Amino acid sequence: MFFINWIKTHKLVVLLIFIIAYLYFKNDTIVPLPLPSTVQDYRTSAPSIGMVAPELSLPKGTEIFSDTTDRIITKTSDLSLLVKDVRNSGDQIIAYSKNSGGFMVYASYNRPTESPFAAITIRIPTEKLDDALNYVRSLSIKVTSENLVGTDVTDQYVDIEANLATLNKTKEKFEEILEKAITVTDILTVQRELISLQQQIDSYVGQKKSIENNAKLTLITVYLSTDELALPYAPDKAFRPEVVFKLAVRSLLNTLRSGAEAGIWIGVYSVIWAPIILGIVAYKKLKRK
């Protein structure tokens, strides 16, 4: 009752309270206008030197890859080939890569007098990959193994482009600040930020070019040998007497070689152990007498 009586006697005060409350809650519900997409105001009309760079949206026109088309795929392939002439086959593969618009990355030839083995790595334009694989197969007596792997790097590529867009926009803003900077401290601070931004931009540009080059040029590694057992693959479990015979002969040669090497070591060190043994024998004879 007291509260009601107070309201009746202070009608003007109550009215003012309602008006103030109405205006207060009305202002709280106002939705702030979004910042311009170009962020030209840089969040304030006069940005300071040490402020944090704004968050920038991806510029209009930036290409976004769909889930099913325009994917960026890097491919790698490796083959193990049984051939008649390792050197000749390797030279032909290298020459083919150059004639097809590619290049040789790595070449290694081993054991020329025993069972020759070579590893050749080339890059071939991706659109010519099928022709290149057919040509490499044609040089062999037998293809013992073959693998082709594709890696989807589209998401990585899009992330790099987005980061580049953000860094370039931020760099432009710092360049604008540099033009307005007056004190030496402000100039040095902005220049330091610009150097850091440029280093990040150069790094992303290098990663982008690397992905583009890897997508355009497929990496092919070819293993060549005149001995099937020298190739890097797991042979099947079928019984093959000729393979078992080769393994047995190879094991025998390794054993003989190890024995010969041991004999050479023993002979060389005889200058040490022979006098010791002769001294021990002479000492025992003298002791018996």
Q: Which residue has the higher pLDDT, 182 or 52?
A: 182
60: pLDDT confidence band, cut at 50, 70 and 90? Answer: very low
pTM: 0.55
Return the pLDDT at 157. Answer: 94
* Better-predicted residue by pLDDT, 8 or 103: 103
Counting every residue, how long is the chain?
Answer: 289
Question: pLDDT tens digits, residue range 186-235?
Answer: 889 989 999 999 999 999 999 999 999 999 999 999 999 988 777 876 55
What pLDDT sits at residue 14?
58
What 3 state SS string does the chain have?
Answer: CHHHHHHHHCHHHHHHHHHHHHHHHHHHCCCCCCCCCCCCCCCCCCCCCCCCCCCCCCCCCCCCCCCCCCCCEEEEEEEEEECCCHHHHHHHHHHHHHHCCCEEEEEEEECCCCCCEEEEEEEEEHHHHHHHHHHHHHCCCEEEEEEEEEEECHHHHHHHHHHHHHHHHHHHHHHHHHHHCCCHHHHHHHHHHHHHHHHHHHHHHHHHHHHHHHHHEEEEEEEEECCHHHCCCCCCCCCCHHHHHHHHHHHHHHHHHHHHHHHHHHHHCHHHHHHHHHHHHHHHHHHHC
Is pLDDT larger for residue 43 or for residue 93? 93
120-144 pLDDT, tens digit each: 999 999 999 999 999 999 999 989 8
- The confidence score (pLDDT) of residue 38 equals 35
pLDDT band (50, 70, 90) for residue 164: very high
| Residues 95-118, mean pLDDT to the nearest whole number | 87
Do 105 and 123 touch, CB atoms closer than 8 A? yes
65 pLDDT above the threshold of 90: no
> Which pLDDT score is estimated for 47?
41
Whole-angstrom distance, CA of residue 86 vs CA of residue 139 = 10
Would you state the structure tokens that stand for residue 26, as one six-digit string? Answer: 């009305």
**Domain map (residue ranges) of the chain:** 73-154+216-230, 241-288
Does residue 17 have a pLDDT over 90?
no
What pLDDT is attached to residue 53?
Answer: 42
Q: Which band of pLDDT confidence, cut at 50, 70 and 90, is reported for residue 92?
A: very high
Query: Which residues sit opposite 80 in a β-bridge?
Result: 145, 223
What whole-number distance in Å separates Cα of residue 118 and Cα of residue 89?
Answer: 10
Give yes or no for residue 242 having a pLDDT over 90: no
